[in-house]
Amino acid sequence: MASFGRQRVLGRIVVMLMIIIAILIGGLFWFDYLGVLDVKSLFSPALKLAGVPVRTGEALPSDSPTLLEDERLAKQLASIEAMRQELVEQQRASEARGAELEAMAQELEERARMLTERENSFNQSLQRYDNRKANVEQNARYLTGMPPADAVKILVAMDDQTVIDILRAVEELAASSGEASVVAFWLSLLPAERSAGIQRKMGAKPTSLD
């Protein structure tokens, strides 16, 4: 009986030792999880054989506040990622705004081109008007210096609008010089039907050179 009792006590001791060892190993891995100790590096050969991933490098100091640092680092990384996303959105908005500004610039450039073309066309029309007006005035001076019969022969060969412009120019020149106008006399020398038509047009359309 005494031998059987000793075996039971020995068995209990072995069981207690196994429990203590298991608790010790579990505690070591718990400290490793908390980052206080680097147990996985210590047991790395056995863990590698078991297919468990292990850490590499030196063990962390026992007094290092790893958890707080990791949490702070995670927050910093999250903040940096948020800033990066914000910068990406700002860049996209800037690119979209740049495209809008470019489209507006092209539209303004097209409008400026059209205005330039209109101005050039107007200047050309004005130049043609000035040239024609100068030619009409010059012809009026030439015809006024001719004998009336010769002047009328030349007027007969012209179209009605040109004749009207010349007659009005002759009247303006006479008014500016204080002389009598020969327009009425020229009209009397023109064929009656042609003279009547010209006078009717002059009354219906007071402006000239149009």
Query: What confidence tens digit (pLDDT) does each residue in 44-83 have?
Result: 555 556 555 555 544 444 455 566 777 778 788 888 888 8
- What are the residues whose beta carbons fall under 8 Å from the beta carbon of 181, sequence distance 6 or more? 170, 171, 174, 175
140: closest CA among 111, 171, 101, 117?
Answer: 171
168-174-177 Cα angle (round to 5):
140
* CA 46 distance to own-chain centroid: 65
Domain count for the chain, please give it: 2
What's the pLDDT score for residue 49?
60
Which pLDDT belongs to residue 57? Answer: 46
Structural domain includes residue 6: yes
Instruction: Please list the ranges in the chain whose pLDDT falls under 70.
Output: 1-9, 28-29, 31-67, 205-210
Q: Where is the domain boundary, 11, 43, 64?
A: 64
The token pair that represents 1 in the structure block: 């009986």
Residue 21 is assigned to a structural domain of this protein: yes
Tell whether 30 is covered by a domain: yes
Report pLDDT for 186: 92
Amino acid at 172: E
pTM, whole model, 2 decimals? Answer: 0.42
Provide CB contacts within 8 A for 71, sequence distance 6+.
Answer: none
Last residue of a domain, one of 64, 92, 115: 64
Predicted confidence at residue 53, as pLDDT, reads 54
**Exposure on the CB side of residue 163, measured as CA atoms within 13 A:** 24
Tell me, yes or no, whether 111 lies in a domain. Answer: no
Give the structural domain span for 197: 131-204
* Last residue within a domain, chosen from 64, 85, 103: 64
What per-residue confidence (pLDDT) applies to 59?
45
The verdict on residue 37 lying in a domain is yes
Please check whether residue 77 lies inside any domain of the structure: no
